[in-house]
Structure 1
Amino acid sequence: MMQRHQTPKAVYVHIPFCTNKCHYCDFNSYVLKGQPVMDYLDALEREMERTVRAVPPGEIETIFVGGGTPTVLLPDQMESFLRRVKCYFPQWSGDLEFSMEANPGTTDLEKLQAMKEGGVNRISFGVQSFDNKLLEEIGRIHNTDDVYRSLENAAKIGFTNMSIDLMFGLPKQTAEVMRSTLKEALAFDLKHYSIYSLKVEENTLFHALYERGQLPLPEEEEEQKMFQLIMETLREAGYEQYEISNFAKPGYESRHNSMYWRNQSYYGIGAGAHGYTYGRRHVNIKGVQPYIDATKERLPQLECIEVSEEEAMEDFMMVGLRLLRGVKSSDFAAQFGRLPEVVFGSVLDRLQEKRLLEATENGYRLSEQGIWLGNEVFGEFLGAVEQK
């Protein structure tokens, strides 16, 4: 049996509610006020029930609850939600990684206690910056005091595996501002940091400002300087850059996200969630009420497509090369019965000539220059399967 038809060992669940909408956000999220939260949790339960009937789960190794802001759930809603997840995906591996995204300021002790009792053992805080002025300008409603309080609360409840999300390339941000944010972030001595560059996505306030020439983004050179600074600072502090935007202490890489980067199957539950099971990708209905209504009749999928072998091979290379250790030829062969050189020979040669890719003893990885130009590398694999 092809590996890509495996039973998923990973579960993603989407909670689409937020306290407010950030200026750069194009995720499927809705301001909490007036939303039918309990109806939504009931709908999640109906989708989970239908999903496990269609694709019965085995042992689950990773669960990730994203959003939105899952931590806008009240403690009793949180307890109810986590109980249902455990009910439909009951077989947890002994070292299950159960992550939940959180916003600073939405994590009081009672809620954190409900999370811990429900099985959550890893929290990813959306901090973005330690510059209060910058936080305000990107539409975040927390400030740095909230961050300190949230991390303190989580440690008090007994959470030891925590991560912070930061952003660079923000309007008016400079390498110096980034340097002081990194200093404050690293003072927490957490196990993991995710540091992403700003992408101006359509249907966001930032996109509207950008179109009007009113978004003072840093020059590319300044942004490059920030990225260089991030990589060097984290390395010096003892973190391994295991993926383009992710840094971890040894053994604390995000195992859930690594499922995506290794092109493994995963369940996708909730409004707008994506899933990949038995060689098919699906995306769910996005709107909260339409999603709730659909779960009463069927699986709430907007579309479900069979992934062709060619596409799966392209995906394998594009997501796998995000990992700095690169892709292994033997893993590719285990999934597809052929070596990547046979399928992508000329692309691999071309990218090595351009010094964006380098051969390792068991496969390929991004070069130092390739890390900065990752999207150019990944794009080369689209439609590039060689018929032999």
Structure 2
Amino acid sequence: MKSAYIHIPFCEHICHYCDFNKYFIQSQPVDEYLNSLEKEMINTVAKTGQPKLDTIFIGGGTPTSLSEAQLEKLMDIVHRVLKPSSPLPEFAVEANPDDLSAEKLKVLKDAGVNRLSFGVQTFEDDLLKKIGRVHKKKDVFTSFERARALGFENISLDLMFGLPGQTLEHLDQSLQTALSLNAEHYSVYSLIVEPKTVFYNLMQKGRLHLPAQDQEAEMYELVMRQMSDANIHQYEISNFAKPGLESKHNLTYWSNEDYFGFGAGAHGYINGVRTVNAGPVKHYIDLINEKGFPYRDTHEVTKEEQIEEELFLGLRKTAGVSKKRFFEKYGCSLDELFAHVLRGLSDKGLIHNTESSVSLTHNGKLLGNEVFGAFLGEL
């Protein structure tokens, strides 16, 4: 499987928790950025050959902060340069509930986009304001219904827990509301306070009041229980879907397979080489104009690193890591390479270690970082 990620680093506003590569769209050289994005794609295709893509994911930032004309230009670039099949198995775009007009939705639909990912975070209006979101609960319903009316049959809702002042009751209500929309997919992430965010600065000043760690664990338990009761199955630590509607693009990452990364700050992984693009928009554009590629860093991933990544990415999936597939990819036995690590994690009740696979137990999901860390540096 091959995938392409395309980064649009522009936003109408900056959320208090977000550490992704993003900039206020006002006064930004958006059209010049799209021209540079096209050049990066053309040069990459010339270098690697025309890819046969299975998935495209356009994320941000906020892709839908682009104007209708700019969205059309982006879609034209994607089709002319990457030449995706029609229909593409999965062509996904991230969207904000407050800037998704019927006109923009039609541009996406006409371009073959068949999956939308709505950044909802919570259905509590007061909490939305507290985390720096500008949409309201009603905007989600409006955009969701508008997308359904235009024929979008695969919609994902992104939610968060562990937010400042959030209670189990808040989360319970948000989950019930989200499930009432009968979306095909739900991503539910715990808040991680990252440097260079508003929340990080508040935390440094002692002004960010988050739920206690045990309460956050209860929240995650609630998420898993609610999704299970609604027959939305968990296929990854933070992701839940109706059968057959799992995110094909994200499964590319978790299965440690190749993907292109286009745009400012994007990461790529092709033929064993990991690339990181320059983040600042002007720096990205300048590198494209000067060198044809915007790489800030390239790294040839060693076999040992690939194996470690295979484990800590693959174990995020509820299906875990297939021992047969592991052997086919790396020519060695997972059981032999990590015998004492597997034994230790199994004794702690954090993994299921069967003849065919290694996967997280329920407690392993709650202590995922401990499991992933156990494999790092072992080789």
Q: Distance in 2 between matches of 1:165 and 1:155?
A: 17
Question: Once structures 1 and 2 are overlaid, which stretch shifts more, 123-132 or 145-154?
Answer: 145-154
Q: Distance in 2 between matches of 1:72 and 1:129?
A: 20
Counterpart of 1:179? 172
1:205-284 matched pairs, under 5 angstroms: 205-284=198-277
Q: Distance in 2 between matches of 1:94 and 1:360?
A: 38
The one of 8, 13, 26 aligned to 2:6 = 13
Q: Is the 8 A contact 1:166 1:196 kept in 2?
A: yes
- 2:326 is the counterpart of 1:326: no
Counterpart of 1:344? 338
Q: Secondary structure at the match of 1:296?
A: helix
Q: Distance in 2 between matches of 1:120 and 1:289?
A: 29
Show CA shifts across 1:106-142 (max 9, x none): 1100000001111111000000000000000000011
Q: Secondary structure at the match of 2:234?
A: strand
Counterpart of 1:150? 143
1:29-40 matched pairs, under 5 angstroms: 29-40=22-33
Counterpart of 1:300? 294
The one of 305, 314, 317 aligned to 2:308 = 314
Q: Distance in 1 between matches of 2:87 and 2:68?
A: 26
Q: Is the 8 A contact 2:45 2:51 kept in 1?
A: no
Question: Once structures 1 and 2 are overlaid, which stretch shifts more, 116-125 or 83-92?
Answer: 83-92
1:366-377 matched pairs, under 5 angstroms: 366-377=360-371
Q: Distance in 2 between matches of 1:86 and 1:342?
A: 46
Shift of 1:331: 1.0
Q: Secondary structure at the match of 1:202?
A: coil
Show CA shifts across 1:177-213 (max 9, x none): 1000011101100100000000000111101111111
Q: Distance in 2 between matches of 1:194 and 1:105?
A: 19
Q: Distance in 1 between matches of 2:132 and 2:272?
A: 39
Counterpart of 1:103? 96
Q: Distance in 1 between matches of 2:50 and 2:173?
A: 45
Q: When the two structures are superposed, what TM-score results if normalisation uses the length of structure 1?
A: 0.96
Percent sequence identity is 47
One-letter amino acid of the structure 2 residue matched with residue 10 of structure 1: S
The one of 190, 215, 236 aligned to 2:183 = 190
Q: Is the 8 A contact 1:26 1:203 kept in 2?
A: yes
Gapped runs of 5+ residues in structure 2?
none
Q: Distance in 1 between matches of 2:224 and 2:217?
A: 11
Q: Secondary structure at the match of 1:92?
A: coil
Gapped runs of 5+ residues in structure 1?
1-7
Counterpart of 1:48? 41
One-letter amino acid of the structure 2 residue matched with residue 351 of structure 1: L
Shift of 1:156: 1.3
The one of 62, 66, 74 aligned to 1:69 = 62
Shift of 1:95: 4.8
Q: Is the 8 A contact 1:9 1:57 kept in 2?
A: no
One-letter amino acid of the structure 1 residue matched with residue 297 of structure 2: E
Q: Is the 8 A contact 2:87 2:112 kept in 1?
A: no
Counterpart of 2:350? 356
Counterpart of 1:88? 81
Q: Is the 8 A contact 1:59 1:93 kept in 2?
A: no
One-letter amino acid of the structure 2 residue matched with residue 310 of structure 1: E
How many matched pairs? Answer: 378
Shift of 1:91: 4.0
Q: Is the 8 A contact 1:272 1:283 kept in 2?
A: yes
The one of 101, 106, 116 aligned to 1:113 = 106
Q: Is the 8 A contact 1:24 1:201 kept in 2?
A: yes
One-letter amino acid of the structure 2 residue matched with residue 327 of structure 1: V
Shift of 1:361: 4.1
Q: Is the 8 A contact 1:82 1:119 kept in 2?
A: no
One-letter amino acid of the structure 2 residue matched with residue 108 of structure 1: S
Q: Distance in 2 between matches of 1:57 and 1:173?
A: 47
Q: Secondary structure at the match of 2:35?
A: helix
One-letter amino acid of the structure 2 residue matched with residue 302 of structure 1: R
Q: Which runs of 4+ in 1 moved over 6 A?
A: none
Q: Distance in 2 between matches of 1:20 and 1:217?
A: 23
Shift of 1:267: 0.3
Q: Is the 8 A contact 1:100 1:120 kept in 2?
A: yes
Show CA shifts across 1:89-118 (max 9, x none): 114275520000000111100000001111
Q: Is the 8 A contact 1:126 1:165 kept in 2?
A: yes
Question: Once structures 1 and 2 are overlaid, which stretch shifts more, 23-32 or 94-103?
Answer: 94-103
Q: Distance in 2 between matches of 1:302 and 1:31?
A: 22
One-letter amino acid of the structure 1 residue matched with residue 9 of structure 2: P
